[in-house]
A and B are shown apart, each in its own frame.
Chain A
Amino acid sequence: MEVRLVHLSKYFGEVRAVNDLNLEIKSGEFVALLGPSGCGKTTTLLMIAGIYIPTEGEIWFGDRIVNDLLPKDRNIGMVFQSYALYPHMTVFENISFPLKLKKVPMAERRKRAQRVADMMQIGHLMDRKPAQLSGGQQQRVALARALVKEPDILLFDEPLSNLDAKLRLTMRGELKRLQKDLGITSIYVTHDQVEAMTMADRVAVLRDGRLQTFSTPDDLYNRPQTLFVAGFIGSPPMNFIDATLVQENGKVVVKAEGMRIELPDELGKRALARAKSDRVVYGIRPEHVHLDPEGDIEAEIYVVEPLGREDLLDCRLLGGSVMGVLAPAGQPVGPGDKVRLRFEAEHSQLFDPETEHTLLW
C-alpha cells in the first residue's frame, strides 16, 4: 500500500509537533523516520495509525484519504516501544486478538496465530503470560500480533530500543529480512541513525516537526542536503569549519585560517555557481582526514579517544578550529604533538551559512 502525507500538521496547543510534512512512501518500501527526541516522529506515526487526528493536511493510503477513518478500519499493524502486550492474555490470546476482533473463526485463528508465532520462533510459548517472557520474546510477540492480520502497513515506534545491544543487532537483521519477504509497506521510527541507515530503503530526517530530507541512506551519508543532516548522520560527527570560497589560478579553493583546500574541478564549479557569497561552511568527515607527514595542513593533537578499532584524534588547526580525525588504532602520538593532516578533497561538503543548504548536491 502506498502512503502519502500531504501538508500534514499536528499542533498541541502552541506546540507544533509536526509541521507541514510531505512524504510519499512507495508500496512495499521500508522508510525510517529519523530525528532527535521530540522532533515529532511518534506524533507522525500516531496520525498515520489514526490515533491522532491531524490538525491540517491529508493522509492518503493508496488512492483514498483516510483522515476520518478509525484506527480499527485502517488495517495497520503497529509495534510499540513498550511492546504494549495485554498482560491479562496469554501469548496466543495476544497474537490472535486482532483476528478475534475481525471475527475470524477459532480454528483459523489458531492456525494463523501458530504460523506467525512459529515464524517469530515463539511457537512454543503460546500458553505463557507476557510477564513470564524475556524482553526479546515480548518483542517477538508484539511483532507477531502486528503481523497476524496481514496488515497493509506496518508501523514501528522504536521497537528495538529496549533490547540489549546484541539482541538489537539480531532483530535488526531479522526485521529487515521479514519486511522484504512479506513486502509490507513499513514506517519505522527511530532516533538511532545506525538503525535507520542499515534497515531502511529511504530515511526521512525530521527536526522540530519539519522534514529535513528524504533520501536513501547512501545519499544521506555521502550527499547530505542540509547542515543539520550532515551533522546528525554519522558517528563521530562531521567536522565543520567556517571558511571562504575563492578562485585561485583557475582552481576553486576553500580557505580558513591554517587551512587551504583545493576542490576537485567538478565540485568547485558547482559550489561557485551556487554560492551567494564567498562565505561557506566547510564540512568533512573524520574518516576522510588523515595523519600524513606529507600533508599540507598543520595541527596539534588535543585529545586522543581510543574507539577500539580506531582512534579518534581531536586536532587543533592553527586557526584554533578543532577537527576530529579517525586513524587506525595505536597511533604513536599524544596530546601536544604537532602533526600534519591531509584532507580527501573529493569528500568535501559545502553549505550556505544562511540557508544551511548544501552547495554541492
Chain B
Amino acid sequence: MTEHAGSRWIQVFLIILVALLCVPLVVMYIWLLEAAFAKQTYGIVPSGFTLSNWRFLWEGFKNMPSIWRITFNTLVFAAIVTVAEVFFASLTGYALSRMKFPGRRIFLSFTLVLHAFPAVTLLIAIFYVLLVMGLYDTLLGVILVKAALELPLGVWIMKGFFDGISWDMEMSALVDGCSRFRAWWEVLIPNIRPGIAALSIFSFLSGWSEFLLPYIFTSSFENFTLSVMLRRLIGDFRFVDYGLLTAAGLYYMLPVLIFFIFTQEYLLNIYAGGTKGTQI
C-alpha cells in the first residue's frame, strides 16, 4: 500500500473516507455500550450511570429461568454441537479425501447442495422428525439438528485439510506399523490441527449465536438459550426496556468478544499462514 497508493494526500483522503464509512458501525457499538449502563439516552448522548439494567444477573427475569441456567444451556448447546461437528467432519472428511468407494462423487456434490439448502425450508419436516423421535422440545434434539445442518460445510473444510496432507506421509505411517485408524489419529489429525481449531471456533460461535432452531423446536423454560431469551425480552414486554435489552445483549456478546481476543492471533495465523501451522 505504501509504495503504490500514490501521493500522501490520496492516502489521507482514503483513510478519511474509510473512517466515515465506519462511523455508523462505531456509533452502534458505542450506543450499545452506553445504553447498557445509562439511566436514559438522548440520541447517542447518555445521561446518568446505573447498574440497574444488569439486575437480571442477580434477580433473573420475569417469567424465565435464571440467567445462569440459560447461559449453561447455551454453553452446552454450542459445545456439544462443536464436538459432534468436529468429530464427524474429521472422520467423514478423511473418508472423502482418502478412500475410494462407490458414490463418493455424488456424496461430495450432495454435501455442497445440502450446505446451500436454506434450513428454513426444512423446518416443518424437521419438526415432524423430532416429534416422532420424541426429541421435540429437548436440547438434545436441537443440538442434533444444528450439528446436522452444520456438518456439510465442516466436512468440506476437513476434506480440504486432509487433501493437503501428502499420501506419502500416510503410507509411511502404515509401513511403520499403524493401522488405518491409528495413522488417522497419530499422524493425520495432529497435522490438521489448524483445521480442527478453525472448525471448532466457527462451529462454537455459530452454535452460540443460533436462534432459529432453539426458538422453534423448544418451548419449555428449561431449554431456553440466550438468543431465545433476548427475543423474549423484545416480545413479551408491553414496551421494550431498552436498557435491559442492551445489557442482556452485551452479556450475550461478552463470551464471543473474549473468545475472539484470545483466539484472534491463532485465527489470523490459520488464514495468513496456510495449513502448515508453523509459528515463526
Contacts and interface: CB of A to CB of B under 8 A. Distances in A.
Contacts of A84: 166, 168-169, 171-172
Contacts of B187: 86
Contacts of B169: 84-86
A92 to B, nearest CB: 14
Interface residues of A, number: 27
B177 A88 contact: no
Given A101-B182, A131-B278, A71 B174 contact: yes
A46 interface: yes
B175 A70 contact: no
- B contact face: mostly helix, strand, loop, or mixed: helix
A45 to B, nearest CB: 10
B176 A87 contact: no
Interface string B261-280: 00000000000000000100
B111 interface: no
A46 B175 CA distance: 10
B168 A82 contact: yes
B172 A80 contact: yes
Contacts of A102: 177
Interface string A49-78: 111000000000000000000111010111
A145 interface: yes
Interface string A91-113: 00000011001100000000000
Most chain B CB atoms below 10 A, which of A81, A87, A145: A87
Contact of A72 (B168, B174, B191, B193): B174
A73 to B, nearest CB: 9
Interface string B177-220: 11100100001001101000000000000000000000000000
Contacts of A80: 168, 171-172
Most chain A CB atoms below 10 A, which of B172, B178, B190: B172
A149 interface: yes
Given A87-B191, A88-B190, A131-B278, A145 B168 contact: no
Contacts of B173: 86, 97
Interface string B83-98: 0000000000000000
A339 to B, nearest CB: 51
A70 B182 CA distance: 13
Interface string A340-358: 0000000000000000000
A4 to B, nearest CB: 20
Most chain A CB atoms below 10 A, which of B177, B178, B190, B191: B177
Nearest to A148: B176
A267 to B, nearest CB: 47
Nearest to B193: A88
Given A46-B171, A87-B191, A101-B182, A82 B166 contact: yes
A71 B169 CA distance: 14
B179 A77 contact: no
Contacts of A74: 175
Nearest to A157: B168
B190 A78 contact: no
A147 B29 CA distance: 62
Given A49-B174, A81-B168, A88-B190, 13 more contacts: A46-B171, A51-B171, A70-B174, A71-B174, A71-B175, A72-B178, A82-B166, A82-B168, A84-B169, A86-B191, A87-B191, A88-B193, A102-B177
27 contacts: A46-B171, A49-B171, A49-B174, A50-B174, A50-B175, A51-B175, A71-B175, A72-B174, A72-B177, A72-B178, A78-B175, A80-B168, A81-B168, A84-B166, A84-B168, A84-B171, A85-B169, A86-B172, A86-B187, A86-B190, A86-B191, A88-B193, A97-B173, A101-B182, A102-B177, A131-B278, A155-B175
